[in-house]
Amino acid sequence: MKVLVCGGAGYIGGHTVWSLYDKGYDIVVFDNLSTGNLEYLPKNITFIKGDITNKKDLDELFKKHDFDCIMDFAAKIVVPESVIKPLEYFFNNTEGVRLLIEKVVEKNIKNFIFSSTAAVYGQIQSGICDENSFLNPINPYGDSKLAAEKIIQSSAYAYKFNYAILRYFNVAGADSKLRCGLKSNNLSHIVPIMTNSMLNKSIFKIFGDDYNTKDKTCIRDYVHVSDVALAHVKALEYLVNSNKSIIANLGSNDGFSVKQVVDEGLKYHNFKYEYASRRAGDPDKLIASNKIAKEFLKWEPKISLKEMIKSDFSFRKKLKNTESK
């Protein structure tokens, strides 16, 4: 089976490429390398540089290759930036999907897997999201992803293909063999920022100590990137075997407060932290119900928060050693 992985040189896309590779799939990675890194991909796969928003790039790609499935990870993902540059986010995250779906229809591709986000839910009063929770994004990033979901669903109904929409919660960690991990000059997630503080002896900031939680810091659902990658393989198997579409949360069904994450990090390596003002729009609690993924994809996360921290630290240390040579 031949799989096109758009954004496959990025963090989650790259880990999914390795999961597909380990299981023997024929893979083509399509990435504009704006944030991706070729050095973390298997050496003997096909890589094509291009952009999902460039119709000419897509025409050339689909002239040369036929695919059984498309996985789309190509997206802008920084929430604060989306507030400042909403048009860029709608162009990349929404228009890019529309152009890909045109190719799905034109080439009669039957399987499409989309990298979505918990940001489509917005503020959930109970703090626990299932796939039927009200969709009300509170930033342009979430809006752009929800609009893309609607394009996929409406098109699948009209043109008869199957899709899996996978909504991620807080993804962290690195490949256990350190074949890939998160490499970025603009870290925006708690675990890599924390492990970076460990390595560089910088002060880690906890944003907010006035949340309606036991320790007054916000609670989030964390899931290891390798577990998320495996979920994409399971989603592909589900689409092929069931001939049905699915929307599923990818989370642990549990949550940790920021202070709990910090305490877990301190067990592994010493670092300093301080409290700062909470960020606007951050809910007290956001946890995934993963019942659909468990029941239909036969998937649930296996890797602990401790291992997320340990693997990310090891990858960040590897990066630092490589850069110092």
| Chain segment 297-319, per-residue pLDDT in tens | 999 999 999 999 999 999 999 99
Report the range of poorest mean pLDDT among 91-100, 136-145, 214-223, 273-282. 273-282
Crossing angle between the packed helical segments 11-22 and 225-242, to the nearest 10 degrees: 60
Q: Which one of the listed residues 40, 141, 211, 222 is annotated catalytic?
A: 141
Dist CA 75 CA 157 (whole Å): 24
Q: Does the pLDDT of residue 325 top 70, yes or no?
A: no
pLDDT of residue 324: 67
Residue with tokens 């799939």: 25
Dist CA 256 CA 129 (whole Å): 15
Q: Is the pTM of this model over 0.85?
A: yes
Which sequence spans correspond to the domains of the chain? 2-172+222-250, 190-220+253-324
238 is catalytic: no
Q: Model confidence over 157-178: pLDDT tens digits?
A: 999 999 999 999 999 999 999 9
CATH of the structural domain 190-220+253-324, one choice from 3.40.50.300, 3.50.50.60, 3.30.1360.120, 3.90.25.10: 3.90.25.10
Q: Does the pLDDT of residue 282 top 80, yes or no?
A: no
- CA Rg, the chain, in Å? 19
Q: Does the pLDDT of residue 186 top 90, yes or no?
A: no
pLDDT of residue 79: 85
CATH topology of domain 2-172+222-250: Rossmann fold (3.40.50)
Tokens at residue 142, please? 């979430």
* Residue 278's pLDDT band (cuts 50, 70, 90): confident
